[in-house]
Amino acid sequence: MDEEYDAIVLGTGLKECILSGMLSVSGKKVLHVDRNKYYGGESASICPLEDLFTKFNAPNPDETYGRGRDWNVDLIPKFLMANGSLVKLLIHTGVTRYLEFKSVEGSYVYKGGKISKVPVDQKEALASDLMGMFEKRRFRNFLIYVQDFQDQDPRTWKDFDPNIANMQGLYDKFGLDRNTQDFTGHALALYRDDDYLNRPAIETINRIKLYSDSLARYGKSPYLYPMYGLGELPQGFARLSAIYGGTYMLDKAIDEIVFGEGGRVIGVRSGDEVAKCKQVFCDPSYVPDRVRKKGKVVRCICLMDHPIPNTKDALSTQIIIPQKQVNRNSDIYVSLVSHTHQVAAKGWFVAMVSTTVETENPEAEIKPGLDLLGPIRQKFVSVSDYYEPTDDGINSQLFISQSYDATSHFETTCQDVLDIFKRGTGEEFDFSKIKHELGDEEQ
């Protein structure tokens, strides 16, 4: 450890592993350390099942749960958008070759106490039970407008400037009612609250496009999920970093981040050893004095021996409960994965219900989600603080990621990573740097 590095990365959560990979690929000498014995930090998948029960102080699972090693349970629920930034990162870095994915089978939205399939194309819109006859036509016209919309071609904007006019204006232009606005904004554009209504419509248009482009890629739903759980993602990027010369140390306590003149980071101390470096990248847990609490997220892991009712027995599903439907300010997300993804023993399902905490009783807040699941064999509830850095790292050269938020996908995760990379290196990440070289490996 007593060496000099360009960058030291602390924590092996997904964000830190992507950063580590990007830095190594850019030619930096990287040391990557985790205080835990395992990869993934907050974004690990817990294996075996016994460890999950222990983590939540529950007595060991009985034999009906099958082999403990067949389980890989995520602590944070998320899916990948098939055409989203994480998939682009995976493909461009070649990390995709270490992973296999499955499409999520169904995407549903909650309305008036029951769930309906999210309509995404004209055909589905016309068949959907979410809207009445005339509303369906209006929604169909809206979808066509979004599909034909071209950023660079004002003719497709149809006398509406989406860079200036807000989203509410666009809804009104098509005469969409409250309910339709609700599932469009929350189940297609994936907003967690209604602030977007007052922001330029272009944002929402692009988000709906991402949804439908993702859907077009593999069908069924716009979401992908990795075999063996989300914990495979940080491991894949860690391997990328290692291949490009990154040094890995797990199970290594970090006692101090050492600062020098002008409050600039100069190294990291573990016991008597000091590793020198020019920059440090880390998650909030390594620097409690340089982050602030921004909010709380409640997550409930549910182990079940059946799929979610009314989802056509889908082996993987996402259900979005738009805030207004249950008189809240933020959406509730339900996700389901199962034995088919090698994250549970045969015949088992893992559902996760999560939302941003708004009251003193977080567990009660997720009840509308839990009520959709049918009988639950075992529940594990956790409430975690959500942190953001108070130091942008420009002076200190200490770059801190934000905690994982309540969004159901990885778009904000990648945004944070690319943003940190840019702050740390002063340049955008150059994807072309690696693709070519990695191509040579294949025979």
Catalog residues that contact other proteins under the rule CB under 8 A: 39, 47, 87, 90-91, 94, 96-103, 216-219, 224, 226-228, 232, 235-236, 238-239, 242-245, 247-252, 340, 342, 437, 441-443
Answer for the pair 403, 284: CB distance below 8 angstroms, yes or no.
yes
Residue among 234 and 307 whose Cβ is closer to other proteins: 234
Tokens of 271: 């016991």
Rounded least distance, CB 368 to other proteins, Å: 32
> Which amino acid is it at 92?
H
Rounded least distance, CB 301 to other proteins, Å: 20
| Backbone φ and ψ of 77, nearest 5° | -85, 125
Answer for the pair 104, 220: CB distance below 8 angstroms, yes or no.
yes
Rounded least distance, CB 231 to other proteins, Å: 8
Residue among 280 and 434 whose Cβ is closer to other proteins: 434
Residue among 93 and 325 whose Cβ is closer to other proteins: 93
Q: How far apart, in whole angstroms, are the C-alpha atoms of residue 213 and residue 263?
A: 46
Answer for the pair 84, 414: CB distance below 8 angstroms, yes or no.
yes
Parallel, antiparallel, or unpaired: how do β-strands 378-389 and 291-304 relate?
Answer: antiparallel
- Listed residue (318, 315, 254) closest to 281, CA to CA: 254
Answer for the pair 379, 300: CB distance below 8 angstroms, yes or no.
yes
Residue among 327 and 443 whose Cβ is closer to other proteins: 443
Rounded least distance, CB 149 to other proteins, Å: 21
Rounded least distance, CB 340 to other proteins, Å: 7
Rounded least distance, CB 35 to other proteins, Å: 13
Residue among 5 and 333 whose Cβ is closer to other proteins: 5
Residue among 245 and 347 whose Cβ is closer to other proteins: 245
Q: How far apart, in whole angstroms, are the C-alpha atoms of residue 414 and residue 419?
A: 8
Rounded least distance, CB 39 to other proteins, Å: 5
Residue among 165 and 243 whose Cβ is closer to other proteins: 243
